Structure 1
């Protein structure tokens, strides 16, 4: 798991092209804002679709095998992006984003099947911390490469980094660690005709876990709110006289707090109820946006980002581990893929919904964000208080984990 996390860090350093895609399309590629926005939006749909389906492939063919295949294909597509025509970009960029989503889901599933109950929060905290650290380092480096050399080199670097991640994973992850559960000893795809699905369809498994359904719904709502700090929030800063440098400082605060507190928080709170932590984290996200109701100045923006980041630390790692702990052995990948897709749904929805509301009634956006996130957190807290505590919370005998 540590070696896999190291590969995630290196890959995250070079995986910053999505920050610059719109600028690249409207600048060197000469596209209009509407056309560039359409291409970026389609790419976002590809990312969400990859997250939703990556775990399904892993349950059928093995998570390690799926991660290797998606990384290799995604890396090859990224390397070729600078030389493609605009028409081909409309297909290639979503394909690269789809592969990235599959890799994300497969990587989560690999952690879930190789780390036992009771240690997954810490494991996912390590992965997330190193991923954020790589991104925090890579974004300013990417800006230097784009301005000093060319935007094209960003895609080449990310493509090569993704190919490296495929090779690194092949080297450090044992074949049977990422195999489908029914083939965990042989490393081959499941011999069952349905890939193990006969032991319980996904919907049947979810209905047996009502607390998990509440959590997934809350995460879907909260992600649209959370991602406003990537969409409408920088626009609001500009409207209140704070330039891109101020926004860059706030993003640096986000990354710095995560690097400092992600792993210590996971260790200190590992015995606390996961639903209570997730609910509290979502309420903190709502509190961050509530601060902006006092005015969008630098002090309020810093307070908002600190609260948002603390909420993110509490809910993201904990929710990922909770879904892994709740998954039956034959559907770990599908559960992780479902959560992964829900957790990035805001990539598609946050911009259009938040932008439309900000344009029509900017004064309503932050109160609505606060209410929605706090409401989602309250629903999870209520569920955690009234749900029957599962084995991995009570300390009773944990379920077997494949791998």
Structure 2
């Protein structure tokens, strides 16, 4: 009788059940990390408006503004590599804290800089510091949650990233009108605030089974891993497809729509992610990773490819909805595979190389996409993205069997490895 009553109550509370599936059972330490991530992204006002600031406030031309933003992206990609090495050598905590504090100082300095050359240099240094933090921070999340909860935890972190981005976009508009320097002061301030939170609440999370001292702690072990590097290559190309959305305004303007139309249709991307991203881990759990990735790149290719045939605001909004679904699926599956292919004793280094691929896509997608659009037109670009989606779907499907074999062997090692006990976390099974 009691069990039937409990089942009845459970069926009567779908929202509560959904919240439990999405966010229940995760350790307290994860939520401190999640909160730090949300704070950082909500305050990332200078990062979001850097191009606008350079153009509208400082009066620099578009090519210079693009170079500054591009160098920042290159710095972030490059910083992920030493960040992963140092997080495995020194620990997650010192790399995360030192990188965040140095990034805050660089962010504030960027707002004070007036020389074009100095701005370029600070932008790249800032990117390096931010890139160093990424693999250490992601490794901390993986360290403190149970293996079965890792995909869910990373998906929650991605959701917080997008929620914070939406808030930051609104906040940045107010700040740049009130006092442009506030963009950099607020951004630097939230970096320091999140660092204080992490310093007070999050201990060192690196697994207690150390790397053998005779083994050099470098990137060689990652770069020699053919299965993982193929995955990184496919990931880079897949995310480069998504990043070609930066060229979408060119199509919008070519079709005679108002320049603000891009802002209206790209809201669909953010709204879908915030509304639906938390559902996906449960939905995709029953499918193989390579199948989810194949579908994700097909959806991305179809979404961008269909931009050839639309010329209205609602038409573009529909294309954004299609490739956003591909982006959402790609996020869940790529995060899962990256974690599953990363050995315990080299976790941060593997995640550093993975982050390098993701960040590199932020440069490759717009750069190559802009070149193709300039030389051959946006129609050729979107047709090319569609074809790339087909190729990547085949590639991900073919890469699936060796990935599964490798993941099975690593999971056996992971289960036998010594696990770290973190204060405030749930007992491990």
Shorter-chain TM-score above 0.5: yes
1:135 equivalent in structure 2: 165
2:15 equivalent in structure 1: none
Conservation of the 8 A alpha-carbon contact between 2:372 and 2:381: yes
SS at match of 1:242: coil
1:275 aligns with 2:290: yes
CA RMSD of aligned residues (A): 2.4
Per the alignment, do residues 299 and 385 of structure 1 end up closer, same or farther by CA in structure 2, a change over 3 Å counting? farther
1:52 equivalent in structure 2: 81
Conservation of the 8 A alpha-carbon contact between 1:48 and 1:341: yes
Conservation of the 8 A alpha-carbon contact between 2:45 and 2:171: no
Per the alignment, do residues 398 and 60 of structure 1 end up closer, same or farther by CA in structure 2, a change over 3 Å counting? closer
Q: 2:200 aligns with which of 161, 171, 194?
A: 171
Gaps of 5+ in 2: 1-29, 421-429
* Distance (Å, rounded) in 1 between the aligned partners of 2:38 and 2:133: 14
Q: TM-score, normalised to structure 2's length?
A: 0.84
Cα deviation code 1:129-183 (max 9, x no counterpart): 0111000111011112112x122111111111111111111122122x1x36545
Per the alignment, do residues 268 and 295 of structure 1 end up closer, same or farther by CA in structure 2, a change over 3 Å counting? closer
Residue 249 of structure 1: how far off its partner (Å): 2.2
Conservation of the 8 A alpha-carbon contact between 2:85 and 2:217: no
* Distance (Å, rounded) in 2 between the aligned partners of 1:223 and 1:330: 27
**What is the aligned length?**
388
Q: 2:253 aligns with which of 222, 238, 245?
A: 238
- Once the two structures are superposed, the pairs formed by residues 155-304 of structure 1 within 5 Å of their partners are 155-175=184-204, 177=205, 179=206, 182-183=209-210, 192=213, 194=215, 196=217, 201-204=221-224, 206-207=225-226, 210=227, 212-230=228-246, 232-304=247-319
Gaps of 5+ in 1: 184-189
* Distance (Å, rounded) in 1 between the aligned partners of 2:316 and 2:362: 22
* Distance (Å, rounded) in 2 between the aligned partners of 1:327 and 1:397: 11
Conservation of the 8 A alpha-carbon contact between 2:97 and 2:198: yes
Q: 1:319 aligns with which of 334, 350, 355?
A: 334
Residue 51 of structure 1: how far off its partner (Å): 2.5
* Distance (Å, rounded) in 1 between the aligned partners of 2:46 and 2:274: 21
2:133 equivalent in structure 1: 103
Residue 85 of structure 1: how far off its partner (Å): 2.8
Conservation of the 8 A alpha-carbon contact between 2:340 and 2:410: no
Per the alignment, do residues 266 and 160 of structure 1 end up closer, same or farther by CA in structure 2, a change over 3 Å counting? same
